Structure 1
């Protein structure tokens, strides 16, 4: 039985917790409400805890001998390494604990219980709209039991036992407190991860200390290269036309569709803003002039760019082992008022965001939520006073927002929940307008975007009365299940019906890495037959997991 906890004992408990969550991450993942193979809660919590465990293991023992020093190291590592909302909340719990343990060499039962409670307070304060029936509820009730027990018992072991008992009861009740969990009939995944962490810490007090396997997933993305010759259209052309006639932009879309791909056309009463990949920029601009005067033009040779990127990527991979991931990144001097960092998965989507003006693209999304430090690195590399961040996924909001306190740049997170919204936000940017004006414009334009995605069910499930079978096509509109079908044909018809009801005018289809161009064109053909009055463009997004991402405006 232990009455005091020093820094090295704290280190061992964090390492044990990281190992246990890593072992059970798939079990946690399977509690996710939607049966989509994405960046799941268990994976995010495991990677976040591993960031702390790795840094603690690498520290000389005398540097973390006090619990204050060990807690500070863990909290800092988790803040920078946090992935997904669950990882960020976990890092906030540790940050609050670290502040409560500041300047303490050791912690007694009361100190430890108070630290748990302060961790909960920090998490609740940081979350914009705290929801009950989540990790917040579980950690709050566990901490309350710890505080109550510590007032009567000097042993940290007993305090943890009571916290675990209360936390387990709270976890089982999350299904009743959270309406979304109730629909799915599952307990909260983040709460389960928290309980696994507490139970591992309690076991470590008894001498059952675990270590994280070196084969654990690090969350690093792998660069996949393709030949420069595989680029079908060599020039990325962007332009803005000030309209001086009544010609329909649909005519421009049709023209561009015949000579290029990756077409995005945004219009209002005054201007037409266009992005296209084609082999003859001159032909593109000549046609553009029939709609009005050119206000701005940008042309880039993608084959030359791609060759450079291959070299850069290879050099980056060769030197990565020598780089310290947690070092403070260099902060670029501002050369402009604002810039943009976007998060997405898929080379085609990444290139599109860059073509539209993004200064940095962070690899991530559903398949792997990026760490706070990944987003921070791109923010700091952006040569601007203010950096807009487009998370393009609700599970990345909190990691993006944590960056604001880690950089001297002003960070403005536009809460885009999908890649489709992110692309619309990029197209709404006007570089001659202020930061506030652009923020308002982006927030306004994403309201008019309907995001539909087509993926597959990773497991059998029931959600809101919908029976979902593993392997079936799963069609989502934002977070709502539109349909699930064993064949794609009826799913396409369902999508068309939904788009008809929305009075869709313009449709962009981004096809993923598991779809070839012929299959994608077949889908577009069927949508064109079902929606003859809708202008449809096709872009190779290259995204994993999702066969198609569809943007309707």
Structure 2
């Protein structure tokens, strides 16, 4: 136990801690995702924080580390570029603060650790324009306050770290008392939970304690990279399946091992998951459908053609100069086409459940030669990443804070190339305010939100981040939500139907809307967006 009694933490322990942090967060990312305040199938806090910490660890492994300072510098830089979503950006700022508190330090003692926690809280709060208590920021603040008040009572930094984490967990359990939304949803803050899992990973790695990570439904995704690495180049396709029934792992293994030797499976909580590498995806889908209803599937062609296509486009455009250029985040083939028809220069695939990283946005900025570059995130969870990217370039890049696809379309349509920059920025901001956006998806759990009682599998109507209506029937949900939102000045409604809704179903909803709102002109567009059955724009 000498390692526990040592009164400092060195760089070797710290690297091991980051490795363990990634492992623990990967095993529990779905647990973090499930803490989403809204009971909708787009909780991605755990995924975003995991991808951010992965980027930090990848950068750590590229460096030669002599001190704890250089480890945290690499983690900070890596997380900055890899940050995804608001939670990922705030995590990158927390790591930046930890580095600021440890500059020039070769090892970490109690004093250094206290300074790191103080700086971490300071940097994170400064990064957010309007800090909200009951979030990851509260966890960081209460850790720093405990640290500053009690650090003189410790001489062992590892024991001190453990007690700081315990204080963080106490803070996390208090978050529902600070945010009504958390209390109603019956959850703690997802970002705070993710941050504590990372700190617990650091602690476990520093102690060099091993944990049992046997595969199960909760940590299934952690093992995907290893099966891909072990079978690199052997198969053309990967298939990820979510099955609607809990099937014994032995039966799953027996079934899919007949198709491919490269497969893993897990079951629990009434569900099953399968990941398989194959050259015959149709056979996999056919066999899986005999076992259970396939709730969703993701098929990927493993030969990378996207890089080649991007390079070819870059060659074509390398000598093209624009007065004004647009970068938009889009999700769905139909929506991509709309932005393409609007002559957008760069479309970044993303949205709910798949937020692009700061680096993704920065690369898009650097790939364009333009006097002015306008970035439209089209999602509230991408705005911080877009701002972070814009701050890292020497080009004139402006983030237009669009929170939905309809706001992005409206902003571009309001742009006048013959007008000056200031007027266009103002026009786009005004256009965002004029458009109303409604989003419709389904509930993944029983919940209460804003006084509305929601049952699992209900359809939900959302406007400005608030659930307006919940109903078992999508058409009823749409009509009753619209009745609360549409006013006499509205004249045009555009409906984007998603990948999980048939055109005939969408047309029937349009017919019902036209019968109720006779003065509205209604357009139907195949958006192809995931997660949301309908996106409705009202002007």
> Shorter chain as normaliser: what TM range?
0.7 to 0.9
Residue of structure 1 in register with 2:85 after alignment: 84
Partners of 2:237 and 2:531 in 1: CA distance: 17
Is the 2:493–2:521 contact (alpha carbons within 8 Å) kept by the matching residues of 1? yes
- 173 and 357 in structure 1: CA distance in 2 versus 1, 3 angstrom threshold: same
Aligned-pair distance for 1:172?
1.1
Which secondary structure state, in structure 2, belongs to the residue aligned with residue 551 of structure 1? strand
Q: Which aligned pairs between 1:34-433 and structure 2 lie closer than 5 A?
A: 34-56=38-60, 58-59=61-62, 63-208=64-209, 213=222, 215=224, 315-316=305-306, 335-433=321-419
Partners of 2:336 and 2:52 in 1: CA distance: 25
CA deviations 1:443-497 (Å, max 9, x no partner) are 0011111111111112222222322122221111121212111112312321342
TM-score when scaled to structure 1?
0.77
Partners of 1:70 and 1:43 in 2: CA distance: 23
Residue of structure 2 in register with 1:5 after alignment: 9
Is the 1:376–1:406 contact (alpha carbons within 8 Å) kept by the matching residues of 2? yes
Residue of structure 2 in register with 1:326 after alignment: none
- 72 and 333 in structure 1: CA distance in 2 versus 1, 3 angstrom threshold: farther
Which secondary structure state, in structure 2, belongs to the residue aligned with residue 49 of structure 1? helix
Partners of 2:225 and 2:496 in 1: CA distance: 32
Which secondary structure state, in structure 2, belongs to the residue aligned with residue 151 of structure 1? helix
Aligned-pair distance for 1:382?
2.1
Is the 2:371–2:396 contact (alpha carbons within 8 Å) kept by the matching residues of 1? yes
**More deviation, 88-97/198-207:** 198-207
Is the 2:35–2:43 contact (alpha carbons within 8 Å) kept by the matching residues of 1? no
Residue of structure 2 in register with 1:18 after alignment: 22
Partners of 2:496 and 2:375 in 1: CA distance: 21
Which secondary structure state, in structure 2, belongs to the residue aligned with residue 394 of structure 1? coil
Aligned-pair distance for 1:75?
0.7
Unaligned runs of 5+ in 1: 225-312, 324-330
Is the 2:450–2:467 contact (alpha carbons within 8 Å) kept by the matching residues of 1? no
- 108 and 476 in structure 1: CA distance in 2 versus 1, 3 angstrom threshold: same
Which secondary structure state, in structure 1, belongs to the residue aligned with residue 138 of structure 2? helix
Is the 1:81–1:372 contact (alpha carbons within 8 Å) kept by the matching residues of 2? yes
Aligned-pair distance for 1:334?
7.7
Is the 1:141–1:166 contact (alpha carbons within 8 Å) kept by the matching residues of 2? yes
Partners of 1:427 and 1:10 in 2: CA distance: 51
**More deviation, 394-403/384-393:** 384-393
Residue 30 (structure 1) aligned with residue 34 (structure 2): yes
CA deviations 1:84-137 (Å, max 9, x no partner) are 101100000111112222222222221122112111111111111111111001
Unaligned runs of 5+ in 2: 214-220, 228-235, 239-302, 312-316
- Out of 514, 525, 534, the residue aligned to residue 528 of structure 1 is 514
CA deviations 1:54-76 (Å, max 9, x no partner) are 332x335xx11211211111111
Residue of structure 1 in register with 2:251 after alignment: none
Partners of 1:502 and 1:64 in 2: CA distance: 65
**More deviation, 489-498/466-475:** 489-498
Q: CA RMSD in A?
A: 2.7
Aligned-pair distance for 1:216?
5.5
Aligned-pair distance for 1:351?
1.7
CA deviations 1:413-465 (Å, max 9, x no partner) are 11111111111111111111222211100100111111111111122222223
Aligned-pair distance for 1:205?
2.6
TM-score when scaled to structure 2?
0.79
**More deviation, 354-363/436-445:** 354-363
Is the 2:14–2:206 contact (alpha carbons within 8 Å) kept by the matching residues of 1? no
CA deviations 1:159-178 (Å, max 9, x no partner) are 11221122112111111112
Aligned-pair distance for 1:223?
12
Partners of 2:471 and 2:524 in 1: CA distance: 23
Is the 2:16–2:208 contact (alpha carbons within 8 Å) kept by the matching residues of 1? no
Which secondary structure state, in structure 1, belongs to the residue aligned with residue 406 of structure 2? helix
Is the 1:333–1:384 contact (alpha carbons within 8 Å) kept by the matching residues of 2? no
- 213 and 490 in structure 1: CA distance in 2 versus 1, 3 angstrom threshold: closer
Is the 2:450–2:466 contact (alpha carbons within 8 Å) kept by the matching residues of 1? no
Partners of 2:158 and 2:318 in 1: CA distance: 49
- 458 and 154 in structure 1: CA distance in 2 versus 1, 3 angstrom threshold: same
Partners of 1:372 and 1:402 in 2: CA distance: 7
Is the 2:45–2:85 contact (alpha carbons within 8 Å) kept by the matching residues of 1? yes
Aligned-pair distance for 1:357?
2.4
- 213 and 367 in structure 1: CA distance in 2 versus 1, 3 angstrom threshold: closer
